[in-house]
Amino acid sequence: MLKEISAGTVIGVLVFLTLKGFDITPLLLLAGVGFLAYWLIEKKGMLSSTFGGKSYIPAVPISFADIGGQETAIRELKEALEFLLRSKQVRAMGIRPLKGILLSGPPGTGKTLMARAAATYTDAVFLAASGSEFIEMYAGVGAQRVRELFNRARELARRQQKKRAIIFIDELEVLGGKRGSHTSHLEYDQTLNQLLVEMDGLKEDQDVQILVIGATNRADLLDPALLRPGRFDRQVRVDLPDREGRLAILKLHTANKPLGPKTDLEAIARETFGFSGAHLESVANEAAILALREKAPVIEQRHLLEAVDKVMLGEKLGRKPTPEELYRLAIHEAGHAVAAELLRPGSVSHVTITSRGQALGYTRQKPEHDIYLYTRDYLEVQIAICLAGAVAETLVLGNRSTGSLNDFKESIRLARVIITSGLSDLGVVGEENLSKEQMHTASTTIINQEEEKVVSLLQPHLPVLKELARNLVEKETITGRELRNLLQEQAKAS
Query: What residues are annotated to the active site?
Result: 333
CA distance 12 to 5: 11
Q: Is 388 exposed, middle or buried (0-12, 13-18, 19+ CB in 10 A)?
A: buried
Question: Where in 60-123 does DSSP place strands (E)?
Answer: 100-104
Q: Do strands 100-104 and 362-365 pair parallel, antiparallel, or not at all (unpaired)?
A: unpaired
How far is residue 410's CA from residue 108's CA, in Å, rounded to a whole number?
25
In 3D space, the residue among 179, 189, 56 whose CA is nearest the CA of residue 135 turns out to be: 189
Sheet of 234-237, strands arranged across: 125-130, 164-170, 209-216, 100-104, 234-237
How far apart are the C-alpha atoms of 474 and 38, rounded to whole Å? 73
Q: Where are the beta strands (DSSP E) in 78-193?
A: 100-104, 125-130, 164-170
By DSSP bridging, strand 477-479 and strand 348-352 are: antiparallel
Strands lying side by side in the sheet with 362-365: 362-365, 348-352, 477-479
Region of residue 365 (left: phi > 0; alpha: psi -120 to 50; beta: else): beta
Query: What residues contact 291, with CB distance under 8 A and at least 6 apart?
Result: 298, 299, 300, 303
Rounded-to-5 percentages of helix, strand, coil across the chain: 60, 10, 30
Taking CA atoms, 17 is separated from 9, 10, 14, 25, in Å, by: 12, 11, 5, 11
Positions of E strands within 86-223: 100-104, 125-130, 164-170, 209-216
Rounded-to-integer distance, Cα 412 and Cα 168, Å: 42
